[in-house]
Structure 1
Amino acid sequence: MMTMPSAPQLAVQASVKRADEILVVDDTPASLQLLADLLTEAGYVVRVAPEGAMALHSALARPPELILLDVRMPGMDGYELCRRLKAAPQTCNVPVIFLSALRETTDKLRGFTLGAVDYIGKPYQAEEVLARVRTHIDLHRLKTRLAEEVEQRTEELRLSSEELEEKRAQLQALMGFMHQVREDERTSIARELHDELGQSLTALRIELSWLRKHCAPLGEVVLERADAGYALVEQTVQSLRRISEGLRPGMLDVLGLCAALEHLVSQFAERTGVSCSFSADADDYRLPENGAITVFRLVQEALTNVARHAEASQVSVRLAQEKNSLHLCVSDNGRGFASAQPRQGFGLLGMRERVLLLGGEITIDGKNGTHIDVRLPLVKGE
């Protein structure tokens, strides 16, 4: 058993940090005392145990910074003690150094296999023991500090990720609100244009038509002016209809999505001269709220991009139901773009946000023309 330390030894122990504590396990009293004195003089706090069971109880009660362990001991030998120490969560990370007269390679390999960090053969040099002890204590401290920093950084990243996700959710909610406000404003403006200005222009067109019929006796100049006024009003009415339909397609509310898209595609082909086809495998789809206007706006934006950038001669718009989702595909044979660095204009960003708001998926491929694939969830039937 360990002798009582002297007064100077107590002073040294009091000045040493808790992290410098070493547990020495050896069934030979002389060897145990020699190691205890050597380590104490080097400035370590030393706990001793003459057999395995006591050492295990001591280590589990208060894990040391390092354990020096003999192999051959009565009852629980060093190998078994090391195995139990490494199996316990309290001591699994405590470095263990075997210090034994067994110097065969197989003995050392067995110790390393059980989790020891080093193996010193007896008889040993005091300087070697102290050097290895210091090395492994420093390594253990660095490992512990690194693990704490990693854990702290992981927690910071988790909190940052949660905060970022919360901001993302708030931004999506704001985008959804902005889209809804914009659609409401478009609907209101389109209704006012149709109901107020449209009716006034229609009345003016009727009056001009009457004037055209009755102003022939007044001369060709008056008739030409009446014809010019009538043509101007007619052009204004057509422009008004086009603007109104662009703001809020009335056909979408009256006849449904497929009819509105077919009309949109037809108007696009007529206006741009680009061949454009539309196909759908159903007359209507059970889309969630704002689903129909979202699909319409996606196609509208895609066709706008084709007219502005694609230099295409053919465009196809296809709708198909796949299980519980609606598949929208818009393809053209234009010049496309580099898929690795696609254009990130507000048009594409807006399309992505609209799809994400409805819980859908969108992929945009710029190889061999531009291909936009969108999948939106359908409302399940009863």
Structure 2
Amino acid sequence: MNAEILVVEDTPASLELLSQLLAHAGYTVRPALEGRMALRSAQASPPDLILLDVRMPGIDGYEVCRRLKDDPRTHDIPVIFLSALHEAGDKLKGFELGAVDYIAKPYQPEEVLARVRTHVELRQLQSRLEERVAERTAQLLDAQASLHESQSRLQELAGFLQTVREEERAGIARELHDELGQALTALRIDIGWLKEKASQLGPSVVERAEAAYSLVELTINAVRRISEGLRPGMLDVLGLAAAIEHHVSQYQERTGIACTLAMNREEFDIGEPLATAIFRVVQESLTNVARHAAAGWVSVQIDDGEDEIRLCVEDDGCGFDTTGHKKTFGLLGMQERVKILGGNIEIISHPGQGTRIEAHFPKDRERK
């Protein structure tokens, strides 16, 4: 059996006997006649097992064991005490110091070999287990690093897609407003002129002209509403505070849900990505309230702090079970927007107790 054993015995005859017994069994033996020699040997090259005599001149076996267990280099080496002592207190002291076994003098060769073989095998199993654990830990750390890198890339991609999406929505909104909106406005003017002239052609022509004029009015309003939903012009022209105030006012008028808005700034000195994210979270939160909450009131609060901006949207609606509720794309979209900017969002809701959505956006991340 390929294992190295340090035998510490102050009696030369006993040391020779143990060394020959173990060598014949296939072990590599390192003899030591006293404690200091044993400590230097173990620290220089840790063996697989130590057979340690208790009663020795100078440093006794108990002190050698204590020093071995205090040293990280030798702490895990199993120690078997060699002793003629038979008192239970002596054995207990050895086990308290970290010994794994006792071999009583006079030595019985079969007992010595059996105990040595058992603890050498345990030591080797422990070493292989530690190597396996270290190997699996390294694999796990590599996997975690790869996962973290993948998550970072996915987050960067999500941020890029959000930016592209906002730019696309802004482009569509401008086309609706500038091209389609202007064309419809010109058409409304022309139909208004025809309506004035149609009185000479009879009531039926006047009626058709008025219907066409009303249809153009409805279409203009629809285009304006769609354009504002895609990208509110106020967000680019007047800033976040004005855009939020206008959106909340229009929302209350359109849904009939009582809304309160509280902001601690007349305007927020933040960049376009953060302003867009806050507006979209407010927009999506209010949309969810109108669609699902059956609420009587909803409040929106935005607080601009030194290091972060806090947004809270709360309603008195029906609420839902957040643990078992299937998340909608709206909720997932809000969470992703906040996460991309390094923030965090919490959705608190219980059936029959309304819902509160609270998001925190770090300002330092936005400045980078």
1:81-136 CA-to-partner distances (Å, cap 9, x unmatched) read: 22232233332211010011122233223322322112233234333322222221
1:149 to 132, 153, 172: 132
Task: Please name the residue that 2:257 is paired with.
Answer: 274
Matched, 1:378 2:363: yes
The TM-score, its normalising length taken from structure 1, stands at: 0.90
CA distance in 2, matches of 1:282, 1:209: 44
2:73 aligned counterpart, secondary structure: coil
Q: Which moved more, 1:145-154 or 1:229-238?
A: 145-154
Letter in 2 for 1:154: T
Task: Please name the residue that 2:215 is paired with.
Answer: 232
2:292 to 309, 321, 325: 309
CA distance in 1, matches of 2:112, 2:320: 67
Task: Please name the residue that 1:188 is paired with.
Answer: 171
Q: Which moved more, 1:272-281 or 1:228-237?
A: 272-281
The answer (yes or no) to whether the contact 1:287–1:377 under 8 Å persists in 2 is no
Letter in 1 for 2:141: R
1:179-200 CA-to-partner distances (Å, cap 9, x unmatched) read: 1111111111111111111111
1:63 aligned counterpart, secondary structure: coil
CA distance in 2, matches of 1:47, 1:92: 18
Alignment of 1:1-382 (within 5 A): 16-17=1-2, 20-367=3-350, 368-378=353-363
The 4+ residue runs of structure 1 with deviation greater than 6 A are none
Question: Structure 1 58/324 Cα, relative in aligned 2: closer, same or farther at 3 Å?
Answer: closer
The TM-score, its normalising length taken from structure 2, stands at: 0.93
Q: CA deviation at 1:292?
A: 1.0
CA distance in 2, matches of 1:252, 1:80: 78
Question: Structure 1 328/140 Cα, relative in aligned 2: closer, same or farther at 3 Å?
Answer: same
Count of paired positions:
364
The answer (yes or no) to whether the contact 1:342–1:366 under 8 Å persists in 2 is no
Structure 1 gap ranges (5+): 1-15
CA distance in 1, matches of 2:288, 2:354: 12
Q: CA deviation at 1:233?
A: 0.5
CA distance in 2, matches of 1:58, 1:361: 57
Letter in 1 for 2:77: V
CA distance in 2, matches of 1:306, 1:82: 71
Letter in 1 for 2:178: D
The answer (yes or no) to whether the contact 1:186–1:247 under 8 Å persists in 2 is yes
The answer (yes or no) to whether the contact 1:26–1:69 under 8 Å persists in 2 is yes
CA distance in 1, matches of 2:120, 2:293: 67
1:277-298 CA-to-partner distances (Å, cap 9, x unmatched) read: 2221221122244111111100
2:287 aligned counterpart, secondary structure: helix
Please tell me the root mean square deviation across aligned C-alpha atoms, in Å: 1.9
CA distance in 1, matches of 2:342, 2:132: 37
Question: Structure 1 210/289 Cα, relative in aligned 2: closer, same or farther at 3 Å?
Answer: closer
CA distance in 1, matches of 2:336, 2:288: 17
Letter in 2 for 1:281: N
CA distance in 1, matches of 2:274, 2:165: 15
Identity of counterpart residues, as a percentage? 58
The answer (yes or no) to whether the contact 1:212–1:227 under 8 Å persists in 2 is yes
